[in-house]
Structure 1
Amino acid sequence: MVTLKNYMEEVVFNLIDSVLNDIDMCKCELCIKDIAALALNSLPPKYIVSEKGELYSKVNSLRSQFEVDVISAITKAAVLVKKTPRHK
């Protein structure tokens, strides 16, 4: 099966936990997804088309090229979500 995937999404979700370990804030599902959405909206999409089995190897090989930008985007998003979380 051929798959279309924004691999930037995979990179964000692979790095988000390690970035948030250094930030004292809520880590509930809503906050995590808000951070991911904000980060992804500030990053350029990187779409790949691949056979399902090849997809993850491509994602892992390309991830390191974008890690610095992704870590920065996640950190900025986390600061915003921490200031104004959408839950009580």
Structure 2
Amino acid sequence: MGKKLCLKNYMEDVVFSLLDGLIKEKNACACERCKYDIAAIALNNLPPKYVVTESGEVFAKTQLLNQQFRTNAVVEILKAIEIVRNNPHHC
């Protein structure tokens, strides 16, 4: 039997890898609710990068090295930080 396949939006990994640093840089709220709100807003405005196989995952990771790809993610996260800062949902 083959390996179990899994469908994953690799863009989630990209956003979460950048999130903490950008939140700290912008001195934004770092509570769990705000982090997830920021991530959700950013991900809704970024193209998904779904992977199924190990080779697909390798391809997606090479895209992360592309400066424009990373820049697009940073821009959307920064926009999301401002949205959440102006409309927080935490206590």
Question: TM-score category by the smaller chain?
Answer: 0.7 to 0.9
Runs of 4+ in 1 over 2 A off after TM superposition: 54-62
> Post-superposition shift, 1:20?
1.3
CA contact (8 A) 2:49 2:60 kept: no
Corresponding pairs, count: 86
5+ residue gaps, structure 1: none
CA RMSD after TM alignment: 1.7
Equivalent position SS for 1:72? helix
1:69 maps to what in 2? 72
* TM-score of the pair, normalised by structure 2: 0.83
Q: Which has the larger radius of gyration?
A: 2
- Aligned identity (percent) is 42
- More relative contact order, 1 or 2 (CA 8 Å, 6+ apart): 1
Choose the corresponding residue for 1:44, options 37, 42, 47.
47
- C-alpha distance in 2 between matches for 1:64 and 1:16: 17
TM-score by length of 1: 0.85
By percentage of residues, which structure has more strand?
1
Aligned to 1:79: 82
Tell me the CA shift for residue 63 of structure 1: 1.5
The CA deviation at 1:55 is 6.6
1:10–1:59: 8 Å Cα contact kept in structure 2? no
Question: Where does the alignment leave 5 or more consecutive residues of structure 2 unmatched?
Answer: none
